[in-house]
Amino acid sequence: MTAPSPYSYADIADLATIAPIAIHGRIHKTAVLKPEQAAGLKAGRARLYVEADVISLIRGSGPLAARVNYLVDLPLDAKGKPPKLKKKQPVLIFARPVAGSAPGTSNTGSIRLVAPDAQLPWDAATEATLRAILTEAVKPGAPPAITGIANGFHVPGTLPGEGETQLFLDTKTGEPVSLTILTAADGSRRWAAAFGEIVDGSAAVPPRDTLAWYRLACGLPRTLPLAKLAGTAPEDRKKAAADYAVVLGALGECTRTRAPLTGS
């Protein structure tokens, strides 16, 4: 039985969704940079120059050298010493090309990590999650990154207690995403997310640890900005906020063990 990944779905999705290059590599050699060579290095970390052999290119276009080099910032060990990466240690590398480099034309190709620490120890479960995320991400109509609430409204239903809230979201790509929350007369609620032009109140709720779940759980603001509900009566704004809280509760926490990345 494969051991579970030490990283959460969001940890991996943060890196996978912004990295144009994802590599399963094997450490060839490393060297620790001197402090004066490591501008901007955070306290408690060391900056390493790494050369790694490419086992497989999980994501990327165009030629890539069989051995790549890059800089990575990693935590110091318990003794305050730079970590030691063993030769042939397997890693996952999330990177982008370096401007002006020509991968594939020599024995090494320079790349730049998408975050200072965007090198993870490889394990089968983490790679499997990474591949699943990338498979979803390249499908037509893949859920885009959510950047906020654009606008919305709440309208009462025909029976006492009934109501409907619709919220339209801002996305990084400009593609439409909306939330619909329906309240029945008995106070029960059901909601759906629509990724596309059609607002479909019967659409399925995104299962946890899918790209749609990640976009919502990790991209939605923690409270509904009521100013976005222009033209909605104050009492109906409160109902919309309660409906929104139901959505957040159903999605659950966007659990991370790493700091979130900007642009993910």
| 241, two tokens | 């906020």
192: CB partners within 8 A, 6+ apart: 179, 180, 200, 201, 202, 203, 204, 205
Q: Distance between CA atoms of 180 and 199, rounded to whole angstroms?
A: 8
Q: Distance between CA atoms of 23 and 177, rounded to whole angstroms?
A: 31
Grouping H, G, I as helix, E, B as strand and the rest as coil, residue 216 is helix
Q: In a structure prediction context, what are the per-residue pLDDT tens digits for the chain, which is 264 residues long?
A: 778 999 999 999 999 999 999 999 999 999 999 988 999 999 999 999 999 999 999 999 878 899 999 999 999 999 999 999 999 999 999 999 987 654 444 445 999 999 999 999 999 999 999 999 999 999 998 999 999 999 999 999 989 989 999 999 999 999 999 999 999 999 999 999 999 876 665 667 899 999 999 999 999 999 999 999 998 999 999 999 999 999 999 999 999 988 777 544
Q: Could you tell me the pTM of the whole model?
A: 0.90
